[in-house]
Structure 1
Amino acid sequence: NWSQACSQVIQLPVHKGPINHTDPGWTNGSGYASLLRKEFQLGWNESAKPPACIQCEGSNGRCSHSRTGDFIGCLCPDGRVQSDNCDSTRRRHSKDRTKIYTIAGSSGILMLCLLLFAFWLGYKKYRSKGKSKETARIESFLQKNGTVHPKRYTYAQVKRMTRSFAEKLGQGGFGAVYRGGLSDGRQIAVKMLKDYKTDGEDFINEVASISRTSHVNVVTLLGFCLEGSKRALIYDYMPNGSLERYAFKDGSEGGNILGWEKLFDIAVGIARGLEYLHRGCNTRIVHFDIKPHNILLDQNFCPKISDFGLAKLCLNKESVISIGGARGTIGYIAPEVYSKQFGAVSSKSDVYSYGMMVLEMVGARDKNISPNTESSSQYFPQWIYEHLDEYCISASEIDGEITEVVRKMIVVGLWCIQLSSTDRPTMTRVVEMLEGSTTGLELPPKVLLS
């Protein structure tokens, strides 16, 4: 069957009118009818196609012809009629889409940038407004206390003192501390306060608190800087750093361990400093952040209470202090500071922190306490309460004077950390217990926070 052998079916235009069978071409033997009755091969000459039609079909279009057979256009799949091919339509559409996407993307990015810029301007204005109020508040405070606060320095002077903050001594809760020097050669420590408190409370607390003090066991504020958002507090330089550096490292690991006598002298010095803050100056000061990190040691290891950023000033007649939320360092915070069920906040809150610090000094000093001992898994104050005598003898290595020193520190520490603030001694009483004999020094009731 010849028709099945064809690989392509070609549709040809034919006349739609009826065939005239009376036409001689159909009736005689040599006419159309005799030709059609025989098998014949139909050839299709592709080269006869106009080049424009070939290009049209190559672009997935179909050729359109006139009645005379001339190519007149390319019919594209999207319904458009092109002069030669359909690729120009796709390219133009692709270009149009790309242009639309580019414009839309650029507009979106521009809009986002404008929104971010507007947000930044608003935030800057808000910050500037807050800073101006904060600075005005601090300036007002300084004017009211003009005869009290120390010398004021510019930020440029502070940079010169510290050689552009070349030597960093440490990082505290309220800022970084840098070493510097005054023009007379005096060594200083410059604390640059963090710029995150919106009301300048930390700066005012430090200046107001320390400016009112003059005690051998309290740091001396030599000056300050207030210039826009730049705030600095200038103190005497303490070459031996903080108490934490000496009392709370294992000597076997290269740490510095102080002897029992020196630790005892430091504990007594801190107690005297706190007693002065609570009773000795015109305006009573509660520190609220007594811990080893905030006890600095001079060249003779004389302790100095520092970092008054959380301190609270109050009149001497006041016994109860109002504070907005808990303040201090976890592990040293008195129970009443974070929960009213333990009583009212007062200077006894500092007593609790002091007691925890002294007990920590005792526990960290004893190299015989290892992670495998019973004390490591039990609350240390509770453990030492139950093993006081054996601990004192073990720690002092059968030295009677050292045994008395260790016992004083432990018993005083246990009294200071009583849950109820009314059961704790005042700092005046603490000094008396430390400086007195152990003969009449009794253990407190066994009511400890475990």
Structure 2
Amino acid sequence: MLRAENYVLTMSWSNPTCGSSETECYLQHTKDVRLNLLITGVILGFLFAIVIPALYRANSNDKQQREYQARVEMFLDDYRSLNPTRYSYADLKRITNQFSDELGQGAYGTVFKGKLTNEIAVAVKLLNNSIGKGEEFINEVGTMARIHHVNVVRLIGFCADGFRRALVYEYLPNDSLQKFISSADSRNHFLGWERLNRVALGIAKGIEYLHQGCDQRILHFDIKPQNILLDKEFNPKITDFGMAKLCSKDKSAISMTTARGTVGYIAPEVFSRNFGNVSYKSDVYSFGMLVLEMVGGRKNVVDDTAENGDQIYFPEWIYNLLEKEEDLRFHIDGEEDAKIAKKLAIVGLWCIQWNPAERPSMKTAVQMLEGEGENLTKPPDPFSSSVPKRTSAGRMPARRLHQELSAISEIE
């Protein structure tokens, strides 16, 4: 304590927290700084390792999307003269009442029911943003804008509003043909043989138009019951042209980089060129499988647990019944029904011959369906050279059933 006249100056020292010396305090401070720098470095490293690449990918994806959108816009400019109506996304929300009535979902998008007016109903297919590079949209609009046929669904318009894309079709109230095949054993859903014949004939005429009625031949590549819609009079209309290809009519074969279609309906040559060239005959094969499903009232492979998990390959089952001149299906009530069923079976079996050259054209298939069927020749066994012999009629091991097609998943 120091005193100076009336003032008192008091000085005191506190005990150091880092030790008893200045050196120890300095070392503790340096250690804390290093620790803070290490933590900061780790955080910054994490940010650079995670956030920066994420931002780069987002920017790259955004750039890709802008390129796809520019491609779609360029396409739409070229096809403006074909006159399908262009709708905004706000228009679609109004037409579908905020997308409130969902009709179904597929790999490429969701379908909603809508109304243009109180009298005119439409189906709006809202495409997924995450699938494809615009090819499905371009294929559908570019193909359907060329088509005007009673057995092909009419494209009313489309939406290409930013990254939102949609297709607007006429609405068909009786759903798809699949509904009446999968529940055909029920009398409530069976269409009757006369109507089945008309449906098959209408589909055949629609495919024939695609192959011969336009400036360029249109190959659908995904003919199946789900892609056949029925109007209020049960007239069939072909839909879903997302996999379609256009080619000149004088080309006997087309090139493809990948298989396209749905397993069970894909022609063998689409999967492997060992079976021949891909051509319009590939649609003929798919049509044949569809017709045989109509005859059998079931999918083309049916589980059979009675014999070691084997499966019945039903086109062969139909061929064997035809050989034995047995009834081909339930609900055959008379001679006329039996004639129609036999005619449809013969047409279907001709169409699924493994050699494309042995399949009829769709024009010939139409003529076969328009006739009475009495003069139709029975086709050769399409399974004799391509399928191993069975131990019992109409059965073969499930593992061999789709040995040629097992590598393809369903593509929609």
Asked whether the two chains share a fold, i.e. TM above 0.5, the reply is yes
Q: Which position in structure 2 is the counterpart of 1:232?
A: 166
Tell me, in whole angstroms, the C-alpha distance in 2 between the residues paired with 1:393 and 1:115.
66
Structure 2 SS opposite 1:113: helix
Structure 2 residue 245 is matched with structure 1 residue 312: yes
The 5 Å alignment of 1:67-82 reads none
Could you tell which deviates more after superposition, 214-223 or 196-205? 196-205
Residue correspondence of structure 1 range 220-299 to structure 2 within 5 A: 220-249=154-183, 251=185, 256-299=189-232
Q: Identify which of 38, 42, 53 aligns with 1:108.
A: 42
Q: Is the 8 A contact 2:95 2:114 kept in 1?
A: yes
Point out which structure has higher relative CO (alpha carbons under 8 A, 6+ apart).
2
Distance 1:98 1:441 in 2: 95
Name the amino acid aligned to 2:251: E
Tell whether 2:354 aligns with 1:419.
yes
1:154-174: CA deviation from partner (whole Å, max 9, x where unpaired): 111111111221111111222
2:317 corresponds to: 383
| Aligned 1:27-106 pairs, distance under 5 A | 104=38
Structure 1 position 413, deviation (Å): 0.6
Shift of 1:261: 2.2
- Shift in Å, 1:224: 0.4
Instruction: Determine the structure 2 residue equivalent to 1:124.
Output: 58
Q: Which residue of 2 aligns with 1:58?
A: none
**Residue 261 to residue 127, structure 1, CA distance change in 2 (3 Å):** same
Closer/same/farther in 2, CA of residues 244 and 101 from structure 1, 3 Å limit: farther
Runs of 4 or more, structure 1, over 6 Å off, are 95-103
Percent of counterpart pairs with the same letter?
A: 45
* Structure 1 residue 141: Cα displacement: 1.8
Q: Which is richer in helix?
A: 1
Amino acid aligned to 2:255: S
1:101–1:372 distance in 2 versus 1, CA, 3 Å: same
Structure 2 counterpart of 1:404: 339
Larger radius of gyration: 1
Conserved? CA contact 1:212–1:283, under 8 Å = no
Structure 1 pair 357–393 and aligned structure 2 pair: CA distance change class (3 A)? closer
Distance, in Å, in 2 between the alignment partners of 1:200 and 1:355 is 31
Which of 251, 267, 272 is equivalent to 1:339?
272
Shift in Å, 1:325: 0.5
Distance 1:142 1:447, change over 3 A: same
The match for 2:8 is: none
| Partner secondary structure for residue 403 of structure 1 | helix
- What is the DSSP-based 3-state SS (H/G/I as helix, E as strand, rest coil) of the residue aligned with 2:297? helix
Moved more, 96-105 or 180-189: 96-105
- 1:13 alignment partner in structure 2: none
Q: Distance in 2 between matches of 1:82 and 1:196?
A: 64
Distance 2:161 2:103 in 1: 23
Give 1:100 shift. 7.0
The CA distance in 2 between the partners of 1:205 and 1:420, in whole Å, is 28
Q: Paired residues, what number?
A: 360
CA shift for structure 1 position 105 = 5.2
TM-score (norm 1): 0.73
Secondary structure, in 3 states, of the residue corresponding to 2:81?
coil
| 2:153 maps to amino acid | V
Using the alignment, how far apart are the partners of 1:145 and 1:250 within structure 2? Answer: 42
> What is the deviation of 1:180?
0.8
Deviates more, 1:376-385 or 1:174-183: 376-385
Q: CA deviation at 1:372?
A: 7.0
Aligned twin of 1:148: 82
**Unaligned residue ranges in structure 1 (runs of 5+):** 1-80, 84-88
Q: Tell me the distance in 1 between the aligned counterparts of 2:291 and 2:329.
A: 18
Residue of structure 1 in register with 2:369 after alignment: 434
- Provide closer, same or farther for how the CA distance between residues 261 and 428 of structure 1 changes in structure 2, counting only shifts above 3 A: same
Q: Which letter maps to 1:147?
A: S
Unaligned runs of 5+ in 2: 1-17, 388-412
1:207 is the counterpart of 2:134: no
Q: 2:97, 2:90 → 1: CA distance?
A: 10
Distance 2:329 2:181 in 1: 18
Structure 2 CA distance for aligned equivalents of residues 120 and 191 of structure 1: 32
Q: CA deviation at 1:286?
A: 0.4
Separation of aligned partners in 2, 1:168 and 1:183: 18
